[in-house]
């Protein structure tokens, strides 16, 4: 029996990176998964799950559009008979625009996808979950939402909003049995961060990636997917309203000039 055996789940941003890894892992653990993304590559995620004996369907659309959010929630209910877990993972950085060149349009789009998208997922998923008295909703935040230095201002502010959304929504759903939590990834090699890794490799400084955290390395999507799996499962039945950093320890410290360690 898998840890999500019999679950009906949705994963957004499932075309690549953390979303693809999570959808794949959820299916491996027994969930029937609606894979959602605006990129057509989400079809490949669902096809791969099916090829390995899992159950999955793909939907393409905008995770920040309310009508589409309602559609993917309803699709999970119609295809798989209910809804047990939603991982609202879809997000964008808004690009490497310098602070004083950021525009209201960039801010609006980043907030729409990164913050309003998870809000809509919570709003509509919880309506399905409340009558059952249980359910898990997970949102992807970021260490950039904890403090500065991990992303552009608009992205960081949106992820700080996701952290607050998880705590606020958990309390809005007081007494319903529906849990809401956030995952705060550190530096993970995905399409979103690929330019950082490519640049380091081109300079021969790949070994320095992740040097600011105590594990002195970057993470991989599967490491975030396993946290999402835990939060989606009944193993996390008493975990609610939390923002959990999965960052090698990066957010455990303020920057310092010298580190301790074995001599």
- Find the Cα–Cα–Cα–Cα dihedral 227, 228, 233, 236, rounded to 10°: 50
Count of structural domains, the chain: 1
Residues 224 and 22: beta-carbon distance below 8 Å: yes
Residue 100 lies in a domain: yes
Q: Which residues face 87 on adjacent strands?
A: 11, 138
The DSSP code sequence of 82-119 is S--EEEE-------S--GGG--HHHHHHHHIIIIIHHH
- Examine residue 88 and state whether it is found in any structural domain, yes or no: yes
At residue 31, the 3 state secondary structure works out as: coil
Domain CATH for 72:
3.40.50.720
In a domain, 48, yes or no: yes
The residue with greater pLDDT, 153 or 150, is 153
Task: Respond yes or no: is residue 155 known to be catalytic.
Answer: yes
Residue 205 burial class via C-beta count within 10 angstroms: exposed 0-12, middle 13-18, buried 19 and up: exposed
Q: What would the mean pLDDT of 185-209 be, rounded to a whole number?
A: 69
Q: Residues 72, 87, 155, 174: which is the catalytic one?
A: 155
Q: Does 197 score more than 90 pLDDT? A: no
Q: Does the pLDDT value for residue 103 go beyond 60?
A: yes
Domain range enclosing 178: 8-190+220-244
Specify the pLDDT at position 213. 85
Q: Tokens 């991982």 sit at which residue?
A: 87
Is 260 among the domain residues? no
pLDDT at 253: 86
For residue 202, being part of any structural domain is answered with no
Residue 42 pLDDT > 90: yes
Residue 129 placed within a domain: yes
Mean pLDDT of the chain: 92
Find tokens 């380091």 and name the residue. 200
Confidence of residue 201 (pLDDT cuts 50, 70, 90): low
In a domain, 254, yes or no: no
Asked whether the CA dihedral 257, 260, 261, 263 is positive or negative, the reply is: positive
224: confidence class by pLDDT, cuts 50, 70, 90: very high
Q: Look at residue 207 and tell me if it is in a domain.
A: no
């Amino acid at each position: 029996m898998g840890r999500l055996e019999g679950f009906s789940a949705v994963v957004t941003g499932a075309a690549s990176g953390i979303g693809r890894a999570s959808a794949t892992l959820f299916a491996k653990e027994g969930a029937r998964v609606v894979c959602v993304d605006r990129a057509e590559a989400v079809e490949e995620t669902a096809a791969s799950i099916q090829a390995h004996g899992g159950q999955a369907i793909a939907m393409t659309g905008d995770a920040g559009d309310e009508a589409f959010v309602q559609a993917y929630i309803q699709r999970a209910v119609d295809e798989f008979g209910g809804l047990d877990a939603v991982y609202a993972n879809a997000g964008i950085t808004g690009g490497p625009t310098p602070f004083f060149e950021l525009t209201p349009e960039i801010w609006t789009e980043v907030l729409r996808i990164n913050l309003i998208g998870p809000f809509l997922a919570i709003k509509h998923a919880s309506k399905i979950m409340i009558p059952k008295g249980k359910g898990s909703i997970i949102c992807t935040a970021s260490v950039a939402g904890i403090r500065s230095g991990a992303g552009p201002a608009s992205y960081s502010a949106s992820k700080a909003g996701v952290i607050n959304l998880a705590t606020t929504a958990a309390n809005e759903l007081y007494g319903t049995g529906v849990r809401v939590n956030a995952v705060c990834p550190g530096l993970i090699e995905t399409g979103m961060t690929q330019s950082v890794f490519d640049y380091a490799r081109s300079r021969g400084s790949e070994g320095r990636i992740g040097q600011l955290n105590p594990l002195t390395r970057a993470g991989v999507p599967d490491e975030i997917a396993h946290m999402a799996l835990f939060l989606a499962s009944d193993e996390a039945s008493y975990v609610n309203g939390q923002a959990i950093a999965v960052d090698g320890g990066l957010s455990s410290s303020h920057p310092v000039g010298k580190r301790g360690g074995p001599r």
